Amino acid sequence: MKKVLMKVNGRSHQFVVEPDRILLDLLREDLRLTGAKQSCDRKGQCGACTVIVNGRTVRSCITKVANLDGAEAITVEGLGTPDNPHLIQEAYVLSGAIQCGFCIPGMIMATKVLLDKDLDPGTEEIKKALQGNLCRCTGYAKIIDAVKLAARFLRGEITPDEIRPDPSKGIIGVSLPRPSSMIKACGVAEFGADVYLQGALELAVVRSPHAHALIKSIDISAAEKMPGVAGVMTANDIKGTNRNGDLLVLCDTKVHLVGDGVAIVAAETKKQALAAVEAVKVEYELLPVVKTIEDSLGENAVRVHEDGPNLEFSQPQIKGDAEAALKNSDVVVEATFSTSTIHQAPLEPEVSIAYMEGEGEDAKLVVLGRGINIHSLKTALITSLGWENVRYEEPFVGGQFGMKTAFTTEGIAGAAALHFHRPVRYVCSLAESMMMTSKRHPHIHKVRMGADKNGKFTAYTTDFTVESGAYSFGGPLYLTRSLQMLSGPYDIPNVHAFGRLYKTNNASGGAARGAGPPQSNYALESAVDLLARKLDMDPLELRYKNTLEVGGTMSTGEVAEEWPYKDCLNALKPHYDRARKEAAAFKTGRLRRGVGIAGAAFGIGGPYPKDQATMAVEINEDSGLTVYGSAADPGEGNDSMLSQITSYLTGIPINRIRLVTRDTDRTPVVGSASASRITYMAGGALVMAIEQFRQAMTEAKATTYQELVAAGKPTKYLATKVCDTTPMDPKTGQGKFYEVRVLGCQMAEVEVDTETGETRVVHMTAVEDIGKVINPLNVEGQMQGGLDMGVGMALREEYIHTVTTDYRSFKFPTMKTSFPMTVITLETPRKKAPLGAIGVGEFVLLPTSAAVMSAIHDAIGVRVYDLPAKPERVLAALGKK
């Protein structure tokens, strides 16, 4: 033990610490300064824990307190408060740099040290200073903008008040700061691991080291006797179904994946729980492992699950006669394209907290987690409680990108709270999160595409396989989504597709930004590019020629309504002409440049029949308005959208609008904050509820709460939006799946090093028509973040189970890999949408990988077909390996 005297945020403290006590734990656990975050398993890889010590940035997750005697530390809480923020915090808020906000305290502290030394840094200086701080949401563009704006503030060139939007001068189409942005900038927004409940037990899970094995016995006796251990649970202790689809909360007789949960340890501290995990003895009988789709095929193949075949699902899509059309085509291209398994990589690993509230029949299990609507129902089933006896609250979420729609930690925490009759916290490590969560499904598409001699598409076929992994986190749904958007923005008269989903003992596939269409669109747009080359036609011109027109039919049989794809191509054209001209000067030598384009059409709403959402509005006694609906905001900007729509339609100032969106006991069901559905679905229901409220106010001739009550009118109004959609026909793949679609196109400019195979993105340009833009800054941020994620999918990102365990092995995008971007929004109002507005975040990912790969082809003259385009694959294509 060592005595340490140090200052934290200007206050003197004396600590007596163990030699290995780290600063992050001291700040969070002893001082409850939770602005600094834990993300990278104390490897110093992410920068979320950054604080300032003696004027320098340090990664508090690897800094030992014993070495800080006499030091002075500053955390983000010591920099400023929501009522009195630092100018850097103001700059981050006003620049739109804050989405989920998990990385922001660390970013701000790194910015403080940079600007203390240099009040006029350039982009490269900013990148260098912040290169150790990771962000998954923004693509770093708005972070860089925030640093530059903060420098202007500190130089005295401009003040925050001079650029702060005035809500009285406009609400829709105005870049108002997100409602939660300032508390995130000041480090006081509560994320899951920031919640500490008195008397809470810490949980750890015993996980299987084997991919496929029978469980012969579990010996918990030694673990139960260890210091601080309150108990150990196995599957026999779970009172309900213990099942979410084919995934068990705790495996009972068999494991199907390295990382499957076998037992839960509850202890007074996390350290004690982890030590006890090592004392649990599990005897396994190893089984053959299904490593690939090829292993899963055939009558004699080992079954991953005994109660079903390895072929989990299959679905065709048929429009016209593709085979006949291909035979009669003047030009046909044929190729096989593949995509990789990808971790969604939000910076915040999973966290779930649970406790019992009340007594007897009125007792409720309260879970702090994500996906509050669907997860509350699943928790009820797992624990044998009624749905009315489960309450979900959602803390702020550090990104999700589809991953946290999967039911993972919530069942563990809920079952443990019910079993131990004490509050519990289950805070995952990054390695554990990567191991147990669902990933982007890998696809293999064998495609053929035909055209006549004038370049008109005649047919498109794809025979594709999808690896589901060990468990089905919605695999059939996401394969179906691939088909729902298969033909993109094009008029293809004949289409034949057949998708098959196979079980293996690998990482499970699930929701990931775009969820299916990014993979199928990569194959389609790559085939379009190959066709353009074979026709010797400009790729942009080929897309013009084959754009679906209003009234035309997609491969699903749906009829195009608003379809502004040509407008998007028109907006891209001057950028395309400029880029082609510039790249022409770099076609020889070691470093070669290329340009690639791609487009997409993305359906908005849940990918299932009759998607619906319910919202409510209530006038308060002060005549402000409360908006109710379980439309939580993990970073997309949902809070801004709901607030701005409400203020615009009611005339009530935005600072008098209150949102209640994170508590199932107080909110109607909206559904998942995913699939870019919240603006369209929750926003649509909100508009309907406000219409009822306004009608009541008009009938009562009221302008205040008191006048409405005096007229005998209700103060609360509720409405439900239901989509007019159908299931997919199992034989033809036809149906009506979406009421509106986003359309757009992108261009990639790349530079390829022909000696090393490295590809550098020089510039990305994205054009997207999303209907009415409610908050331009939020839309830009979503587009920029999506572009960065799409480039990662194209060039670097690949998850290999048990090998990819941290951000470095995943090749997480950094400031160093970031690139300039131009984002352009067009506004064709959608008639069925609230104020004409639809979603933005998911679409962005669809065109990117194909645009990048086509740009590589343009640069070096040969194609790389498999994602990601790692240097060795580029060199192999060049014949240099």
pLDDT at 494 over 80: yes
Nearest to 833 by CA among 684, 726, 677, 641: 684
**In this predicted structure, what is the pLDDT of residue 186?**
99
pLDDT at 233 over 90: yes
Residue position matching structure tokens 């508009």 = 687
**In this predicted structure, what is the pLDDT of residue 363?**
83
Strands (DSSP E) contained in 311-363 are 311-319, 331-338, 351-357
Q: Is 689 helix (H, G, I), strand (E, B) or coil?
A: helix
| Identity of the highest mean pLDDT range in 357-361, 524-528, 660-664 | 524-528
**Domains in the chain: ranges and CATH:** 2-79 (3.10.20.30), 87-189 (1.10.150.120), 201-287+345-436 (3.90.1170.50), 317-342+439-606+733-878 (3.30.365.10), 612-722 (3.30.365.10)
Q: What is the pLDDT of residues 692-701, one digit of tens each?
A: 999 999 999 9
Q: Is 212 helix (H, G, I), strand (E, B) or coil?
A: coil
For residue 214, which phi and psi values (nearest 5 degrees)?
-85, 145
Q: Which amino acid is present at 602? A: F
Supply the mean pLDDT for the chain.
97
Q: What is the pLDDT of residues 393-435, one digit of tens each?
A: 999 999 999 999 888 999 999 999 999 999 999 999 999 999 9
Peptide bond into 868 cis (omega under 30): yes
Nearest to 391 by CA among 129, 587, 139, 664: 664
Provide, rounded to the nearest whole percent, the portion of the chain with pLDDT above 70. 100
Strands (DSSP E) contained in 684-832 are 716-722, 741-753, 759-769, 821-826
Buried b (16+ CB within 10 A) or exposed e, 41-73: bbbbbbbbbbbbbeeebbbbbebbbbebeebeb
**In this predicted structure, what is the pLDDT of residue 249?**
96
**In this predicted structure, what is the pLDDT of residue 362?**
77
pLDDT at 28 over 80: yes
Report d(CA 244, CA 508) in Å as an integer.
Answer: 13
pLDDT at 273 over 70: yes
Length of the chain: 881
Q: Looking at residues 180-207, what average pLDDT do you find?
A: 98
Report d(CA 376, CA 865) in Å as an integer.
Answer: 42
- CB within 8 Å of 499: residues ≥ 6 apart: 314, 315, 316, 464, 465, 466, 479, 482, 483
Q: Looking at residues 325-354, what average pLDDT do you find?
A: 98
Contact 136, 342 (CB under 8 A): no
Report d(CA 366, CA 239) in Å as an integer.
Answer: 16
Residue position matching structure tokens 């929750």 = 682
**In this predicted structure, what is the pLDDT of residue 107?**
99
pLDDT at 881 over 70: no
**In this predicted structure, what is the pLDDT of residue 387?**
85
Report d(CA 425, CA 417) in Å as an integer.
Answer: 9
Identify the weakest region by mean pLDDT among 313-322, 402-411, 474-483.
402-411
Burial class of residue 13 in the structure, from the number of CB atoms within 10 Å of its CB (0-12 exposed, 13-18 middle, 19+ buried): middle
Nearest to 547 by CA among 452, 460, 457, 453: 457
Report d(CA 163, CA 161) in Å as an integer.
Answer: 5
Contact 479, 472 (CB under 8 A): no
| Tally of CB atoms within 10 A around 124 | 9
Q: Looking at residues 665-670, what average pLDDT do you find?
A: 95
Q: Looking at residues 536-556, what average pLDDT do you find?
A: 98
Report d(CA 269, CA 277) in Å as an integer.
Answer: 13
Report d(CA 834, CA 629) in Å as an integer.
Answer: 16
Report d(CA 193, CA 113) in Å as an integer.
Answer: 27
Identify the weakest region by mean pLDDT among 161-170, 282-291, 701-710.
161-170
DSSP classification of residue 795: H
**In this predicted structure, what is the pLDDT of residue 179?**
96
Q: Is 535 helix (H, G, I), strand (E, B) or coil?
A: helix
Contact 743, 568 (CB under 8 A): yes
**In this predicted structure, what is the pLDDT of residue 602?**
98
Q: Looking at residues 651-669, what average pLDDT do you find?
A: 95
pLDDT at 49 over 70: yes
pLDDT at 880 over 80: no
The three-state (H, E, C) secondary structure of 568-625, written as one string? HHHHHHHHHHHHHHHHHHHCCCCEEEEEEEEEEEEECCCCCCCCEEEEEEEECCCCCE
Report d(CA 504, CA 468) in Å as an integer.
Answer: 7
Instruction: Tell me the sheet residues that pair with 189.
Output: none
Report d(CA 147, CA 151) in Å as an integer.
Answer: 6
The three-state (H, E, C) secondary structure of 700-732, written as one string? CCCCCHHHHHHCCCCCEEEEEEECCCCCCCCCC
Instruction: Tell me the sheet residues that pair with 11.
Output: 8
| Tally of CB atoms within 10 A around 687 | 19
Q: Which two tokens stand for residue 467?
A: 């690896």
Report d(CA 387, CA 374) in Å as an integer.
Answer: 10
Report d(CA 846, CA 779) in Å as an integer.
Answer: 16
Q: How far is CA 2 from CA 7, 64, 67, 271, 414, in A?
A: 16, 11, 10, 20, 39
Report d(CA 875, CA 881) in Å as an integer.
Answer: 6
Residues assigned a catalytic role: 842
Instruction: Tell me the sheet residues that pair with 464.
Output: 445, 499
**In this predicted structure, what is the pLDDT of residue 370?**
83
Q: What is the pTM of this model?
A: 0.97
Residue position matching structure tokens 């309504």 = 561
How many helices (H) does the chain have, and how many strands (E)?
Answer: 26, 30
Contact 811, 863 (CB under 8 A): no
Sign of CA dihedral 283, 285, 291, 296: negative
**In this predicted structure, what is the pLDDT of residue 304?**
97
Q: Looking at residues 116-135, what average pLDDT do you find?
A: 98
**In this predicted structure, what is the pLDDT of residue 359?**
82
Helical segments of 156-307, H only: 160-163, 181-185, 221-224, 270-279, 293-296
CA-angle at 829, arms to 828 and 835, nearest 5° = 155
Q: Which amino acid is present at 437? A: T
Residue position matching structure tokens 């990819």 = 804
